[in-house]
């Protein structure tokens, strides 16, 4: 546990190292200017800066709470998809029977129908995760230098939807969904049409059909909730202004912090001339610590605004969907060698 905490701390420091170096450059320039150019007159009182800092802290706190709420809601939605998918797999296997069939099917034909429905559901999950990974104009975290240099990218960016689902649906179904803009919705429509056809043949009892339609309705609900989070960003007036306010505070902070350390140094110089002379340079680590805390908390809020963007802090919908896929195919009795493996974990991160 201690090792994991140390590694997480190192990741956080590495994640923000460019900003930390920028803070170091900013405060070093200010301290050097005050020290060598004797700019004692260039300072601002702590009161207005404290008011700005308090306002920024409140806004950052609000942003982080809202971002966490979006992440947690997204995780609950995909948790619901997991449970509903397992229910659908169970219902399909147990409710497709010849008990009420007008023309009974042999076991192979019955298993084929079960497999078609199960595979189409896997295709639906795949289409949904691909839709959630589509880039939106307000999703910019994935383009940050730290994400690009570590190749932190979800698997959907390395494949196409057609490649991922072509083995799960027929060419006829593929042609149908390719004619629609919302492919995950089209796949649920196909599921409903298929279930209706089986009900008319008596392969599915009427009450069982209603239960299965109820499961599809729940899948529509979860899909709609997921699409709502994806397509409605955290309000830009909060996100953008919060970012600007944070930088205003960070840039004004040296005008109050450095003179304060100079005043303390002038008092210390009476007893310890050497320490007092260079005391102002101690403002550098204090400034970096303060600026780093404000900036990092604001950045954490920004990275949590879009839980499906595909960064290290997002909901791992690719892993969740692949996990359901593995469960459903194992329950069909398929060999492990025929079932795709779970997506690779990179830098202790699931996608």
Binned at pLDDT 50, 70 and 90, residue 348 comes out as confident
Q: Dihedral angle at the C-alpha atoms of 17, 19, 22, 23, nearest 10 degrees? A: -100
Least confident of 15-24, 113-122, 230-239: 230-239
What are the respective helix, strand and coil percentages of the chain, to the nearest 5?
A: 75, 0, 25
* pLDDT above 70 for 250: yes
Instruction: Give dist(CA 61, CA 87) in Å, integer.
Output: 39
Entry pTM: 0.87
Q: What is the pLDDT of residues 124-182, one digit of tens each?
A: 999 999 999 998 888 877 777 767 776 778 889 889 999 999 999 999 999 999 999 99
Q: What is the pLDDT of residues 325-346, one digit of tens each?
A: 999 999 999 999 999 999 888 7
Q: What is the pLDDT of residue 1?
A: 45
Q: What is the pLDDT of residue 263?
A: 87
Q: What is the pLDDT of residue 2?
A: 42
Instruction: Give dist(CA 47, CA 207) in Å, integer.
Output: 71
What burial letters (b/e) apply to 68-83, b meaning 16+ CB within 10 Å?
eebbebbbebbebbbe
Look up residue 238 and give its two tokens: 């909060």
Q: Average per-residue pLDDT in the chain?
A: 89
* pLDDT above 90 for 311: no
Least confident of 84-93, 119-128, 270-279, 319-328: 270-279
- Mean per-residue pLDDT for 287-295? 93
Instruction: Give dist(CA 61, CA 191) in Å, integer.
Output: 44
Longest dimension (CA), the chain: 104
DSSP string, 253-308: HHHHHHHHHHHHHHHHTTT-HHHHHHGGGGHHHHHHHHHHHHHHHHHHHHHTS-TT
* pLDDT above 50 for 6: no
> Measured in whole angstroms, how far is the alpha carbon of residue 27 from the centre of its chain?
33
CB 117 within 8 A of CB 194: yes
Q: What is the pLDDT of residue 9?
A: 62
CB 330 within 8 A of CB 168: no
Q: What is the pLDDT of residue 273?
A: 83
Assign 161 to helix, strand or coil.
helix
Spatial neighbors of 63 by CB under 8 A, at least 6 apart, are 234, 238, 239, 242, 298, 301, 302, 305
Binned at pLDDT 50, 70 and 90, residue 271 comes out as confident
Instruction: Give dist(CA 250, CA 139) in Å, integer.
Output: 24
Binned at pLDDT 50, 70 and 90, residue 10 comes out as low
What burial letters (b/e) apply to 232-246, b meaning 16+ CB within 10 Å?
eebeeeebeebbebb
DSSP string, 147-159: HHHTT---GGGGS
Per-residue DSSP letter, 96: B
Select from 146, 131, 134, 69 the least CA-distant residue to 304.
69
Per-residue DSSP letter, 342: P
CA distances from 245 to 54, 65, 248, 302 (A): 11, 18, 5, 14
Instruction: Give dist(CA 183, CA 120) in Å, integer.
Output: 12
Q: What is the pLDDT of residue 323?
A: 95
Q: What is the pLDDT of residues 22-48, one digit of tens each?
A: 999 999 999 999 888 877 778 888 889
CB 85 within 8 A of CB 125: yes
CB 322 within 8 A of CB 81: no
Q: What is the pLDDT of residue 90?
A: 95
């Amino acid at each position: 546990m201690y090792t994991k905490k140390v590694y997480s701390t190192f990741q956080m420091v590495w994640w923000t190292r460019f900003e930390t170096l920028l803070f170091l450059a900013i405060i070093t320039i200010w301290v050097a200017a005050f020290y060598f150019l004797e700019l004692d007159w260039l300072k601002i009182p702590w009161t207005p800066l404290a008011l700005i800092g308090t306002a920024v802290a409140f806004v950052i706190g609000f942003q982080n709470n809202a971002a966490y709420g979006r992440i947690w809601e997204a995780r609950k939605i995909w948790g619901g998809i997991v449970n509903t998918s397992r229910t659908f797999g169970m219902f399909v296997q147990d409710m497709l029977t010849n008990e009420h069939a007008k023309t009974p099917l042999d076991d192979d034909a019955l298993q084929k129908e079960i497999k078609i429905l199960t595979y189409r559901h896997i295709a639906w999950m795949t289409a949904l995760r691909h839709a959630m990974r589509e880039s939106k104009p307000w999703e910019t975290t994935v383009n940050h230098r730290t994400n690009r240099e570590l190749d932190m990218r979800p698997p959907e960016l390395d494949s196409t939807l057609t490649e991922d689902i072509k083995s799960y649906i027929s060419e006829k179904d593929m042609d149908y969904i390719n004619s629609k803009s919302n492919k995950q919705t089209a796949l649920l429509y196909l599921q409903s049409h298929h279930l209706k056809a089986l009900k008319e043949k008596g392969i599915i009892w009427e009450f069982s059909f209603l239960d299965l339609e109820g499961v599809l309705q729940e899948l529509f609900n979860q899909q709609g909730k997921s699409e709502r989070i994806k397509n409605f960003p955290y309000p830009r007036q909060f996100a953008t202004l919060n970012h600007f306010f944070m930088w205003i505070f960070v840039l004004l902070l040296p005008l109050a912090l450095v003179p304060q350390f100079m005043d303390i140094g002038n008092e210390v110089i009476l007893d310890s001339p050497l320490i007092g002379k260079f005391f102002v340079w101690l403002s550098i680590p204090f400034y970096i610590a303060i600026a780093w805390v404000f900036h990092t908390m604001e950045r954490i809020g920004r990275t949590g605004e879009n839980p499906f963007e595909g960064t290290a802090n997002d909901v791992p919908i690719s892993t969740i969907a692949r996990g359901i896929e593995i469960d459903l195919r194992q329950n069909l009795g398929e060999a492990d060698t025929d079932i795709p493996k779970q997506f690779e974990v990179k830098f202790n991160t699931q996608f």
